[in-house]
Amino acid sequence: MRVKGSLQNKLVTVLIDSGSTHNFVSQTLAKRVELQPLSKGRLEVMVASGEKLISPGKCNQTQLILQGISIFVDFYLLPLEGYDVVLGTQWLSTLGPIVWDFSKLQMSLHVEGKEVALHGLSIPENKVVSNLQLQRAARKKKKGDFCYNYFLCGPPKLHQLDLNFLLMC
């Protein structure tokens, strides 16, 4: 689920992802807001595409504000594209029971003994693009971009067979 947040007073897009084992922050964002990573926090990460990335460091106890809720988390640096921050099971496992309603894009959880709700960003609509647009997007090679390629074709052609030909076989 995607939510908006802020890190060092900069508006960020956060992906809350139960499929990620750790929390990550974009290296570009970390530089922009002058986060100071520890060089000894290196981690090898396999991303969804199967590619292995090396995190060059870790930022400990960094404040992130999600819809008015202040949390402190450890982040590994990664060359993220599409999201500024990923909150994985490293953070999710600290919350205790949560209720995640995907039909409403809402997550109910407890922070410091209070029940709070995070509201997700709406899912972007699918977009039909031309072959040329698809090729241009593929050349950008952005990590985290996903594309589903469907070919629209007419119904299969039915060939009329000559009945006499069939009878002769």
At CA 79, angle to CA 78 and CA 80, rounded to 5? 90
Cα end-to-end distance, the chain, whole Å? 61
Strands 24-26 and 69-78, how do they pair? parallel
In this predicted structure, what is the pLDDT of residue 98?
Answer: 93
Instruction: Give the tens place of pLDDT for each residue, 139-169.
Output: 765 554 555 555 555 555 555 555 555 565 5
Q: pTM for the complete prediction?
A: 0.73
**Residue 132 banded pLDDT, cuts 50, 70, 90:** confident
**Residue 94 banded pLDDT, cuts 50, 70, 90:** very high
Whose tokens are 């960094």? That residue is: 62
11 versus 168: which is more confidently predicted? 11
Q: What fold characterizes domain 2-119?
A: Cathepsin D, subunit A; domain 1 (2.40.70)
For the chain, what percent of residues have pLDDT higher than 90? 53
Q: Residue 119 pLDDT > 80, yes or no?
A: yes
Coarse DSSP helix, strand, coil percentages of the chain, rounded to the nearest 5 percent? 15, 35, 50
Overall average pLDDT of the 81-96 stretch: 93
In this predicted structure, what is the pLDDT of residue 142?
Answer: 56
**Residue 118 banded pLDDT, cuts 50, 70, 90:** very high
In this predicted structure, what is the pLDDT of residue 64?
Answer: 97
Lowest mean pLDDT among 46-55, 65-74, 98-107: 46-55
